[in-house]
Structure 1
Amino acid sequence: MTTVSSPLAGRVIGLAAVPDPVFSGAMVGPGTAIDPVREPGEAVSPVDGVIVSLHPHAFVVVDDAGHGVLTHLGIDTVQLNGEGFELLVSKGDTVARGDAVVRWDPAAVEAAGKSPICPVVALEATAEALSGLVESADVAAGDTLFSWK
């Protein structure tokens, strides 16, 4: 069982509320989403594992069970070409839950005309594999979002 933690502080709104059909339709995988607090900060690893994909706006950490967890910082933020994002780790690095991965500013993302909402997705999972899925709550970085069997 893998416990997936919130990579940032904010309000959990659930995937269905994400303003992107790929995420809201769970095409990437099941999970939830966070509307982050509007202050500069760090997105942290939601699980212990290895960074297998790393972009300024998104990262994937794979744990020892082979579960890949995608954290996507905002919607359409790839169009910002890394502006306002600072990578704090490298692809291939081993991270612990709560380790800082990317420094960013959700308010700057919003000011640039993009949604700062952050999907947190269990890649290649079924909805049935997740339990305790949080769809609405205020969270701090490190609070549990769901468990993955």
Structure 2
Amino acid sequence: MSLSVQAPLPGRVLALADVPDPVFAGQMVGSGVAIEPARDRGALDVLAPISGKILKLHPHAFVILGSAGGGVLVHLGIDTVKLKGEGFTLLAAEGDEVDAGDPVVRFDPTEIDGTGYSAVCPIVVMDSKPDSVSTDTIGSDVTTGDVLFAWAAQ
């Protein structure tokens, strides 16, 4: 099984080790990368990085289970669960079938900046082995829909 994961939002790609959260930085949730969101566009529609079913949907995070298996978590900001949904708009519902590129959540990273929380967005393959995704996009700028990384079950 393998997944090609698209960038769910525009910004600069960071290594998970650079995420200001030990759970993501330590790849305890899974392997992946993070995106420091673009700030010049106002509110961003965060899109499904893969096609599949929305397994979990919170204002600050969602998991999509791919049709061939493999779940991808998109987490919007760090500790943003403490905002209790404020600043986030759901554009889809838990249980929806989505195609890669379908809108799931809208948020404005500059509003998150104003709360004192980090707006960095980890994108990880759930329960994958550490360092199991290609990370050749780290340090580059991505546009929504660009290939962010590939992952193959090991």
TM-score normalized by structure 1?
0.96
- Partner of 2:53 in structure 1? 50
Distance 1:85 1:14 in 2: 25
Alignment RMSD (CA, Å): 1.1
Query: 1:126 and 1:31, CA in 2 relative to 1: closer, same or farther beyond 3 A?
Result: same
> 1:21-66: per-residue Cα shift (whole Å, max 9, x none)?
0001111110000000122111000000000000000000010111
Which runs of structure 1 show a deviation greater than 4 angstroms over 4 or more consecutive aligned residues? none
Q: Given the alignment of the two structures, is residue 10 of structure 1 paired with residue 3 of structure 2, yes or no?
A: no
Distance 1:57 1:35 in 2: 15
1:130 is paired with a residue of what secondary structure?
A: coil
Gaps of 5+ in 2: none
Distance 1:24 1:128 in 2: 11
- Partner of 2:134 in structure 1? 131
Alpha-carbon deviation of 1:128? 5.8
Distance 1:59 1:127 in 2: 20
Aligned length: 149
Alpha-carbon deviation of 1:15? 0.5
Alignment of 1:78-93 (within 5 A): 78-93=81-96
Gaps of 5+ in 1: none
8 Å CA contact 1:31–1:133 kept in 2: the answer is no
- Partner of 2:151 in structure 1? 148
- Partner of 1:111 in structure 2? 114
Query: 1:128 and 1:112, CA in 2 relative to 1: closer, same or farther beyond 3 A?
Result: closer
8 Å CA contact 2:33–2:135 kept in 1: the answer is no
> 1:105-124: per-residue Cα shift (whole Å, max 9, x none)?
10000101110000000101
Distance 1:23 1:132 in 2: 15
Q: Percent identity?
A: 50
- Partner of 1:25 in structure 2? 26
Q: Which amino acid aligns with 2:124?
A: V
8 Å CA contact 1:41–1:105 kept in 2: the answer is yes
> 1:58-116: per-residue Cα shift (whole Å, max 9, x none)?
00001011110000000000000000100011000000101000010100001011100
Alpha-carbon deviation of 1:130? 2.5
8 Å CA contact 2:59–2:90 kept in 1: the answer is yes
